[in-house]
């Protein structure tokens, strides 16, 4: 439907704008940014922009700002996705230069893309729960590519970021594995390891080798490791009775 197309949603979306000085202190923002961001709580003006973000998002924002210091002339704006309570924001930042080409300030622009990647309504039975994702926003060549949840076989953590695997390959995602685990269907997806989130709809084999358990997914050549503490939950979600060979 046109009313739910990404272009339609972006066209009718408000844009948040935050102005930073050359030392990355917040000096101004528009009214939409004031509504979306916790201005009253954080009191960000004249403070470093990093202090304005949740601790788990700070390394991402720092990386984004560092990338804006591109040594080439007229660098492209950098893009990143971060997760805040109930919202998913697409952030772009650009460095502004003065007449001599020296850094004068930074402009941080964000779009609220929650409606693009989430379902129509928040969870009914858990009003405090985060909205569930229907698509995972990934980044490719400064573009946002929305990956269908059903196509995802597993997600692998890499530091503060993740790689989303499908039959077509892996895509980079700015959201961390904990954010994704909270926003994906808990019936199909299970955090089987600190670094892996598996789609159990693709579960094919449970393997045991020298006391270690792994999960083979359909279409994936390499089994994923399963943490010892995650084995009971894995068996429970798959509807499998306790297997003596997998214990201990």
**Residues 236 and 143 occupy one common structural domain:** yes
φ, ψ for residue 221, nearest 5 deg: -75, -35
**Residues 138 and 228 occupy one common structural domain:** yes
List pLDDT tens digits, range 72-113.
444 444 556 666 656 777 778 888 888 888 888 888 888 877
**Residues 151 and 36 occupy one common structural domain:** no
List pLDDT tens digits, range 211-231.
899 999 999 999 999 999 999
pLDDT band at 56 (very low <50, low <70, confident <90, very high): low
**Residues 156 and 96 occupy one common structural domain:** no
CATH number of the domain enclosing 156: 2.40.50.1020
What average pLDDT does the segment 171-192 reach? 88
Q: Which domain holds residue 160?
A: 118-246
What average pLDDT does the segment 232-247 reach? 72
Q: Output the CA–CA distances (angstroms, integers) from residue 207 to 212, 222, 225, 240, 244, in the order listed.
A: 8, 11, 9, 14, 13
CATH number of the domain enclosing 98: 3.30.450.20
Number of structural domains, the chain? Answer: 2
pLDDT band at 124 (very low <50, low <70, confident <90, very high): very low
Q: How far is CA 60 from the centre of its chain?
A: 11
**Residues 23 and 100 occupy one common structural domain:** yes
- Domain ends where: 116, 147, 180? 116
- Domain ends where: 87, 116, 145? 116
């Amino acid at each position: 439907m046109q009313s739910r197309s990404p272009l339609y949603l972006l066209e009718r979306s408000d844009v948040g704008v935050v102005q930073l000085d050359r030392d990355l202190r917040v000096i101004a923002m528009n009214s939409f940014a004031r509504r979306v961001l916790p201005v009253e709580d954080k009191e960000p003006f004249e403070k470093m922009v990093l202090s304005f973000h949740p601790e788990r998002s700070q390394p991402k924002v720092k990386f984004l700002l560092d990338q804006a210091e591109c040594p080439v002339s007229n660098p492209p704006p950098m893009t990143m996705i971060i997760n805040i309570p109930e919202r998913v924001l697409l952030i772009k930042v650009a460095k502004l230069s003065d007449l001599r080409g020296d850094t004068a300030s930074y402009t941080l622009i964000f779009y609220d893309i929650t409606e693009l990647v989430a379902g129509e309504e928040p969870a009914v039975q858990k009003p405090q729960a985060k909205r569930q994702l229907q698509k995972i926003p990934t980044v490719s060549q400064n573009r946002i590519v929305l990956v269908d949840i059903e196509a995802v076989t597993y997600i692998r953590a890499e530091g503060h970021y993740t790689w989303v695997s499908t039959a077509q390959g892996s895509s980079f995602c700015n959201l961390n594995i904990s954010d994704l685990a909270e926003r994906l269907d808990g019936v199909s997806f299970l955090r089987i390891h600190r670094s892996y989130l598996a789609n159990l709809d693709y579960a094919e084999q449970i393997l045991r080798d020298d006391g270690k358990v792994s999960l083979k997914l359909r279409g994936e050549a390499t089994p994923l490791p399963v943490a010892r503490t995650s084995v009971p939950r894995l068996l429970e979600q798959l509807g499998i009775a306790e297997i003596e060979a997998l214990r201990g």
